[in-house]
């Protein structure tokens, strides 16, 4: 194969093998061809610059001028030709590596050139598209085919402003729950913030019959007087979070003073140096660690008014509140807490004036704590206070002989404890459920007429939810806590019925206010209309009303307008009530009728 003349001139004399290098075993013609190709492909040689031409796939029109017309590139080509003999003196492996590097450099240059050209074409197309959109919106300012420099600058400014706004919006409001992104509020009503929180059906079937007094819980709490809120904190029910809400998240005339690094806060009444809250974060464990119903009812009055004379003690109202939780989740959470070293040894368990003996309440472990215990060992202990803890802490233990199990049979004891816990829970001023945080907040605000600053947060992922148990273990935990399971079912039914009753009562109150407002506006309208008619008759006293058809027509028009306004308002109220309470009977807006309607609806749901 004949080589080009430019390649022959560039190669010069044939390459001699290096001293000490092995002799070639291939054809010398093949080596000369390879060397010629290497010389031609060298970017710094004259042969590459003169004979090679543009890269494959790229036309001469891509560059503004030919390669030889640029003096800078020509000088670099001459320098490359001068360095050609030095390149020939290198070893074969090093020449091949240098050749690969130069070839890669050429390929990278080609890719960069193609990318630049493609981006330029894309920008040109985008410019035409944006110019067309810009001309449609701002027709007089720009045209589709021809855009002057001012239009280009204005278009670029608009695009940059839009991108900056998007970046700022994502920085300020990264989540989907941002108030700025709720555009559906303009087209659809705001969703109920107190909808079902456990992903269950919003409408439930009640199992228990409750009276109006059981459902309507509204406490006339006088924070400036002598009333006191007592928080019964059951272990692992979310009581710590709720206790912090009580001292840090309530709108008060005189908020609680909480110092950094201290758990307890000072919650004084307005104008008094006396607390209105008896809880862990206000008074500490004054009646013992996690005191139960039996301890609190006998201890709190003595702690609050112990220093005063019995004749000078005020007649206080003690409003007891608590939080309950699903028994299985609470049991697993307590087991995990015990695994980490919790013991609650400071609990007094005082009942009937004395703590239990070691025979009445044995310990499940030996040593300082029960850390690292497996779940099976935790369940196997018959004296574990985690079993049916919520029933035990809410019942009156004096009815069953405190912790003495020999007073009555076990079956009778369990029945008495369960009925006592249900009765105390029903007559409490308030109780909430861990699984319904927003509803808990709503009922507390309606019960005590005290509002929280920020809404409660529903945490669906807890330490208990991370524990994976099979169906057999779950059944056993439910069996160990069968009293708590029954109490929680009762409490959940009462809680949800109270919530629905309070919501219905709130809707009826809003309806009544709207009706009164419409009646007031209607009266003002009729009064203004009759005054205008009286002024017209005063100006024409000699004219007979029967001879004035316009006056009679105005009176008939007024009567028709009044009837239509009354009918439309009543129809609108009925439609709104049906939307708010589907399937329930409508009432006339009074509290008594609203209660009867709700209780009647409960019977229908059954």
Chain mean position to CA 515: 37
Which region among 32-46, 83-97, 566-580 has the lowest average model confidence (pLDDT)? Answer: 32-46
Statement: residue 545 has pLDDT above 90? no
Average pLDDT over residues 390-403: 97
CB 88 within 8 A of CB 45: no
The closest of 434, 419, 489, 484 to 204, measured between CA atoms, is 489
Q: Between 533 and 26, whose confidence is greater?
A: 533
Statement: residue 44 has pLDDT above 70? no
Of the chain, the end-to-end C-alpha distance in Å amounts to 101
Q: Between 18 and 555, whose confidence is greater?
A: 555
Q: Find tokens 């406490």 and name the residue.
A: 219
As a whole number of angstroms, the distance between CA 540 and CA 544 comes to: 9
Statement: residue 269 has pLDDT above 60? yes
Active-site residues: which are they? 290
The closest of 363, 331, 322 to 479, measured between CA atoms, is 331
Confidence of residue 195 (pLDDT cuts 50, 70, 90): low
Statement: residue 282 has pLDDT above 60? yes
Confidence of residue 310 (pLDDT cuts 50, 70, 90): low
Residues with Cβ within 8 Å of 306's Cβ and at least 6 positions away in sequence, in order, are none
Confidence of residue 601 (pLDDT cuts 50, 70, 90): low
The closest of 259, 386, 406, 255 to 329, measured between CA atoms, is 386
For the chain, state the CA radius of gyration. 44
Cβ neighbours of 525 (radius 10 Å): 14
pLDDT of residue 138: 57
As a whole number of angstroms, the distance between CA 486 and CA 482 comes to: 6
Confidence of residue 35 (pLDDT cuts 50, 70, 90): low
Share of residues in the chain with pLDDT > 90 (%): 43
User: Tokens for 565?
Assistant: 């306004």
Alpha helices in 206-306 (DSSP H): 212-215, 239-248, 293-305
pLDDT of residue 33: 52
As a whole number of angstroms, the distance between CA 450 and CA 293 comes to: 24
As a whole number of angstroms, the distance between CA 514 and CA 589 comes to: 11
CB 213 within 8 A of CB 494: no
Q: Between 261 and 117, whose confidence is greater?
A: 261
pLDDT of residue 243: 96
Average pLDDT over residues 30-36: 50
As a whole number of angstroms, the distance between CA 124 and CA 130 comes to: 10
pTM attached to this predicted model: 0.60
CB 357 within 8 A of CB 506: no
């Amino acid at each position: 194969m004949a080589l080009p003349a430019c390649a022959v001139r560039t190669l010069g004399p044939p390459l001699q093998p290096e001293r000490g290098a092995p002799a070639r075993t291939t054809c010398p013609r093949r080596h000369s061809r390879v060397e010629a190709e290497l010389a031609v492909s060298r970017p710094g040689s004259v042969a590459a610059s003169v004979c090679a031409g543009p890269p494959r796939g790229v036309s001469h029109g891509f560059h503004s001028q030919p390669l030889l017309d640029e003096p800078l590139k020509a000088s670099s080509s001459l320098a490359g030709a001068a360095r050609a003999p030095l390149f020939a003196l290198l070893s074969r492996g090093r020449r091949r590596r240098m050749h690969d590097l130069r070839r890669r450099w050429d390929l990278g240059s080609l890719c960069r050139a193609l990318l630049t050209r493609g981006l330029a074409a894309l920008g040109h197309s985008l410019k035409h598209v944006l110019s067309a959109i810009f001309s449609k919106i701002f027709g007089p300012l720009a045209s589709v085919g021809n855009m002057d420099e001012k239009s280009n600058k204005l278009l670029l400014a608009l695009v940059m402003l839009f991108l900056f706004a998007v970046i700022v919006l994502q920085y300020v409001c990264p989540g989907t729950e941002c108030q700025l992104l709720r555009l559906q509020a303009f087209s659809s009503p705001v969703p109920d913030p107190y909808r079902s929180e456990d992903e269950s059906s919003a409408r439930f079937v009640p199992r228990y019959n409750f009276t109006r007094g059981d459902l309507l819980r509204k406490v006339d709490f006088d924070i400036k007087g002598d009333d006191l809120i007592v928080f019964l904190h059951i272990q692992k029910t979310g009581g710590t979070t709720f206790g912090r809400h009580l001292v840090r998240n309530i709108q008060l005339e005189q908020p609680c003073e909480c110092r950094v690094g201290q758990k307890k806060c000072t919650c004084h009444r307005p104008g008094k140096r006396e607390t209105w809250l008896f809880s862990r974060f206000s008074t500490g464990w004054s009646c013992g660690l996690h005191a139960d119903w039996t301890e609190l009812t006998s201890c709190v009055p003595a702690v609050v008014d112990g220093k005063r004379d019995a004749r000078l003690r005020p007649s206080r109202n003690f409003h007891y509140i608590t939080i309950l939780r699903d028994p299985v989740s609470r049991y697993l959470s307590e087991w995990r807490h015990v695994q980490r070293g919790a013991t609650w040894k400071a609990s007094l368990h005082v009942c009937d004036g004395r703590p239990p003996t070691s025979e009445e309440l044995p310990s499940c472990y030996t040593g300082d704590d029960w850390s690292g215990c497996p779940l099976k060992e935790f369940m196997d202990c018959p004296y574990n206070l985690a079993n049916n803890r919520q029933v035990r802490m809410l019942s009156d233990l004096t009815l069953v002989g405190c912790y003495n199990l020999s007073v009555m049979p076990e079956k009778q004891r369990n029945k008495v404890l369960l009925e006592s816990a249900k009765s105390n829970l029903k007559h409490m001023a308030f109780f909430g459920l861990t699984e319904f945080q927003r509803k808990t907040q709503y009922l507390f605000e309606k019960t005590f007429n005290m509002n929280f600053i920020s809404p409660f947060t529903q945490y669906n992922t807890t330490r208990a939810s991370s524990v994976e148990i099979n169906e057999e273990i779950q059944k056993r935990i439910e069996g160990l806590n069968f009293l708590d399971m029954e109490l929680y079912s009762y409490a959940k039914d009462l809680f949800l019925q109270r919530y629905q009753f309070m919501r219905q009562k709130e809707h009826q109150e809003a309806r009544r206010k709207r009706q009164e407002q419409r009646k007031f506006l209607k009266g003002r309208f009729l009064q203004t209309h009759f005054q205008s008619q009286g002024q017209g008759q005063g100006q024409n006293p000699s004219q007979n009303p029967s001879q004035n058809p316009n006056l009679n027509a105005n009176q008939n028009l007024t009567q028709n307008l009044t009837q239509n306004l009354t009918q439309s308002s009543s129809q609108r109220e009925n439609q709104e009530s049906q939307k708010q309470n589907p399937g329930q009977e409508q009432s006339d807006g009074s509290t008594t009728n609203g209660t009867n309607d709700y209780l009647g609806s409960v019977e229908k749901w059954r």
